[in-house]
Amino acid sequence: MLSASTILLSFGLLFRVFTNLAAATPTPRALCSPNFQGAGVSIIAGSVEWGVSAPVAGTVLDRTAKSNTTAEWHVEQTGGAPSTYLVSVISNSDLAVGVGANGVLTLEQKDSNKPATQMWTIMCDSCSSGASAGVQDSASGCKIMASSSGLCAAVEHAGTHLATTECAPVVAQTWDFWTVPA
């Protein structure tokens, strides 16, 4: 037979174990929606950057070597909750990034009749304020999701293009935005 003090000691130990487990439960990270304040951006994952060979409709987005000193893109909030964005080419503001055939990212004429293919949801681990102040990492750890499908923008594994794919916590889908003021 167990004594009363042994039983109380056992319950006390169990209480401490459960209390410690509850305290060790991780809390979810807060995510942010970036605001680039009109500054041009470079969009980077690891050593890869979003690029285009020619700013004309139908051009497929390529991965290029990282060069965060020149801005190629405007990323504008369009509203909604969570915030949606339109990504357009700085050198031709009539073109927006859309999802083309087979999920490949392409440049399309901005079109108010099919905004879903040109709208993106961007959620980041961290967002800076003062994006127009200078060259800086303005948002990092970002997922760029096609609003029309919920798929994430990613670097193709064996290819040179950018495409959408199922979202996963991998470097090929984790983007940083570097602002480069005009």
Q: Is 126 exposed, middle or buried (0-12, 13-18, 19+ CB in 10 A)?
A: middle
pLDDT in tens, 18-69: 333 333 333 345 789 898 888 889 999 888 889 888 899 999 998 887 766 6
Predicted model pTM: 0.78
- Side-chain-side CA neighbours of residue 16 (13 Å): 5
Q: What residues form DSSP beta bridges with 144? A: 122
* Residue ranges of domains in the chain, CATH in brackets: 40-180 (2.80.10.50)
The pair of structure tokens assigned to 137 is 């990492």
SS3 101: helix
Lowest mean pLDDT among 69-73, 103-107, 145-149: 69-73
